[in-house]
Every structure is written in C-alpha cells, then in structure tokens.
Amino acid sequence: MRDAYEGEHAVKARSYPSLPFKDVAWGGACYLAATSGMIADGIAGNADRGSLAYEAYKMRAVFPHYVSDAVEKAVGVMHSKKGTIDLPDVMKPLLEKATLDGEDLHDLLRRINEAQLVTGRIGLLADFTDQATRENVLPWIATYEAESIINWDSGQRDNSMLQSLNLVILDESGEERQEDFNWKQVQQHRVLVLGDPLVNEPPGTKGATYQQALFRETTNFDPAALMEPNIRGRKLDEIPFVFINATDLLPKPAVKPPLLKLADVCFTIYRGSADHRLGLFMQAQDTLVIIGADEKTEVRVGAGAHLNLPLGSDAKFIGVNSAGLPEQRTTLENDVSEAKEIGGRLLDAVSRSKESGEALHVRVAASTATLTQIALTGAAGLQMVLRKIAKWIGADPNKVVVTPNLDFDDDILTANEYLAIQNAINAGLPLSKKSVHARLRKDEWTVEEFEEEMKLRDAEKEQAMKEQQAAAKAMGQGNGPGDNKQQGAA
C-alpha cells in the first residue's frame, strides 16, 4: 500500500524479477516478474542480456497514480472544513504545537486520516524527552507508522477477566548522522510495558505502572533498563499508546486498508502496461533476414542505404505478430475503468451537474459512508491519547473533546445559481430570505447573521441614496441657465 501511494518511482525501485533459483539476493518485491525469455537470457547480474532486457521492460511500464490521487482528494474533502478540538486551558498550547515536528493538532489529525487511508493503521504515543519537573510541562504526541508497531500484548481473549494493554514494542531504527557527516543505519527499539513485563495485569492492579526503555544496537531485553516516566511525580497506570485503524481502535489490525483493492488493480495495470508496451516495442523492431548472401555482404538499412546482393538472393523483414495488441489495449482500458470505479466509491469525481437530485443523494450517501467512519475513528483515537495526557498532568480528561468535520458536501452554489433562485422566488417560490441567507453562510459568501446582514444591507442602500442625492445637487448648482437647457434637451 505504501509503495502504491508513493507512486511509480517507489514501485519500480522495488520491482525485481521472480527467480527460480535462490543464489541471487535481489531483495524487494516481485511487482513485475521477468518473462521466460529474460530468465533464459540470464538475470543473475546487471551485465547479463536478460537483466538489461528486464530493466528496459520495467522502464517502459507505467504505474498509475490512482491511489495517491484518491487519498489526496479524500483527505481534502475530510478537511475542507476544520473540526473542533476542545481542551482544558493547561493543554491549549497543543493546539499550536503537538509534535516534535511542530505540527498542530489539526495537522496531526489530517496525517492520521492519511495513514488510515494508505495503510489502514497508525499509532500515537504520549511522551516527553526527560523527567518532567517543570510546572507547565506538556507531553507531546509521537506517531508511528503501521510497519513500526512490531509487537504488542493486549491480553488473552479466552480469559473472562478484563485485560489491558501490557506491552508495545516500536521499531525506531533509522539513519543517524555521524561526526564525519556520513550516515549510519542504527537499530533502535522502544519497549513500553505496564507492570511486570511478563504478566498482563488487569486494569487497576495495585503497583502496575507504565514503564519504558530505549534499546540501541541490541535485541536483548534488560528489565533493569526500564524507567517510570512521571510528570511532577505523577505516574500512569496505563500505557499512553493508542492504536488507530481505519474503523476501530483495537490493537489487532483486523480491517484491511480501505484502498487495498484499488492498489491491487493499479499493480495489475502496471504489469499489463509492461506487456503491452513490450509488444509495441517489439512490433517496431523488425528483424532483417537475408537469404543467399555470403558473410562479406555489406548490410545497411534505412534512408539512403542499399543492399548489394548476389543473384538469386532475397532480403525481407520479419516481426512480431500484432494480433494480440488490440486485446491487450482493451484489457488495460477495462482495468483503468475498474480502478476509477473503485476510487469513485470512496470519493466520486463525476460532475454532479449531470445527475438528478435522487441519484446524487444515493451516490453521496454511499461514497461518504467510509469517509465518515474513518473521520470518526481518527478523531476518537486523537481524543483518546489527549485524554491520557490530561490524566497524566492532572487535568480533567472529560474536557478533551475532538469532533471531526463530517460535512463532506463541498457543492458550493455559483452566483448564477443564486440569481436563478431569486428569480424563482420572485415568480412565487415559497422560500424566505432567511433561508437563502442560511445557504449563503454555508457557502461562505458571508459570515454575518441574518439580522446583521439586513442592517448592513439597509445601511449601504441608505448611504448610496445619500451619495446619489449629493451628486445630483452638486451637478445642479454647477450649471448655468444655458447648460441646464442643454442638459434637459439631452
């Protein structure tokens, strides 16, 4: 899913042939398998004939950008209007800066929704850099991609006793800059535990507190390295980590990414495109065949060239049969249509002006159902981690409320459409000015309440009338008798 979202460059960087032997470590994924002819020509090294053919085969292929387009459009619709985030006063600074990268909470929610659409999963951890002793200290929120959440324990489901999240292991490996400005890959894991690392205590177990440790360049767990993070001596009796999936907040990723089927079709198009373009390439690369000439015959083809052949010889071009190309093209077109249809189920790009009101209602209801679930789940996950922060610093968790934008209808009326509405009202349409003004506010043509809007409109009319009267009076005083007659005649 992540490769499909990042697009053609990422997909081709990770596309390697499927090899029948194991002595060559290609790595990556078999997004585009080599043909049997390429394998027969050898693909064990970059200089082999088959390897060169495979690289050209891959270069000609096209990977469509439907996944990234669908994600960007969906996130844009979800955040066309800002949701509301209410916090206790002591937590208000998080509205401006909630992560170490300087993201505010609205930007963070946008990134959460993006991850829900791409991989269907993201993790949030409330953390701080040192033991917090300052009065106004606030934890910040760290985000973890789906691939970084490598281990967890939320209890046994066959146990009638309520279980709690007892263990989370996060992969924080990555490159670190060295003193000589070079970069080194460093293995690093963060371990979060509640109470005894080997026991899953039920909620409320006495003495079970949140602990964590960071392990670098080792896979050996040492309980002695665990520390109990505290804010002014206040510890937590739960792990301040939240799992956010596409439609739930459970540790187990039970739901597939929403756009997985679209990504599958995109890879089908990628492979079909490679085959189709290989066929087109081969169709344009006919092979010259000479019959009856010796090896000394000079061979040149193209404009201005000629062949001198012995009597009785023959020369001709042979090429690949093109009978299958139309069928390949039709198949590709069908795959593209299917991809657009799948993407349209999440966010339809068809012009609404071409649909009836009933058809529009049905389509919008169907296409926004998934977005609504994603928006509600993302907001609930962000609210949960913020409430853990509130509990940690001694604030009221119930004052933390995250409400997402669920108004996905961005169909804004134009000036001509409003003019048509006004003409219909003049012709007898039973619609009040207040109702029209309400729609004007929704479309952000105005920010004023109806009564205030009417006062402003009346004041502007009165001012315009005064200005017209003053201008008329000035014109009358400035004209002589002859000018007045001439003006009247005009």
**Token reading at 217:** 């360049």
- pLDDT (0 to 100) of residue 365: 47
- pLDDT (0 to 100) of residue 172: 95
CA proximity to 298, closest of 424, 145, 33, 306: 306
Report the distance separating Cα 375 and Cα 135, nearest Å: 34
What Rg do the C-alpha atoms of the chain give, in angstroms? 34
Measured at the CA of 211, the angle between CA 207 and CA 214, to 5 degrees, comes to 160
Report the distance separating Cα 385 and Cα 137, nearest Å: 16
E-strand ranges in 69-133 read: 84-86, 121-127
Q: Which amino acid is at 165?
A: L
CA proximity to 75, closest of 123, 109, 121: 109
Report the distance separating Cα 490 and Cα 487, nearest Å: 5
Strand-pair partners of 84: 403
The residue whose two tokens read 């604030």 is 395
pLDDT digits (tens, 9 = 90+) for 325-353: 777 778 777 778 877 777 766 655 333 44
Q: Where are the alpha helices (DSSP H) in 177-259?
A: none
- pLDDT (0 to 100) of residue 485: 47
Report the distance separating Cα 235 and Cα 211, nearest Å: 9
Containing 315, the helix (H) or strand (E) segment is strand 314-318
Strand-pair category, 121-127 with 84-86: unpaired
Is the separation of the CB atoms in 441 and 453 below 8 Å?
A: no
- How many CA atoms lie within 13 Å of 136's alpha carbon, on the beta-carbon side? 5
Report the distance separating Cα 419 and Cα 32, nearest Å: 56
Strand-pair partners of 212: 192, 227
- Give the residues of the chain that fall short of pLDDT 50: 20-27, 349-358, 360-368, 482, 484-490
Report the distance separating Cα 393 and Cα 132, nearest Å: 10
Q: Which amino acid is at 402?
A: V
Containing 152, the helix (H) or strand (E) segment is strand 149-153
Report the distance separating Cα 153 and Cα 130, nearest Å: 26
The sign of the CA dihedral 54, 59, 65, 68 is positive
Contacts of 306 (CB under 8 A, 6+ apart): 300
Is the separation of the CB atoms in 394 and 138 below 8 Å?
A: no
- pLDDT (0 to 100) of residue 126: 95
Report the distance separating Cα 225 and Cα 245, nearest Å: 31
Containing 241, the helix (H) or strand (E) segment is strand 241-245
**Token reading at 59:** 């270069």
- Measure the N-to-C terminal CA separation of the chain; round to a whole number of Å: 76
**What is the pTM assigned to this prediction?**
0.73
Report the distance separating Cα 466 and Cα 476, nearest Å: 15
Helix (H, G, I), strand (E, B) or coil at 42: coil
Neighbours of 405 (CB within 10 A): 17
Q: What are phi and psi of 90, to 5 degrees?
A: -65, -20
DSSP helix, strand, coil percent of the chain (3-state; round to 5): 45, 15, 40
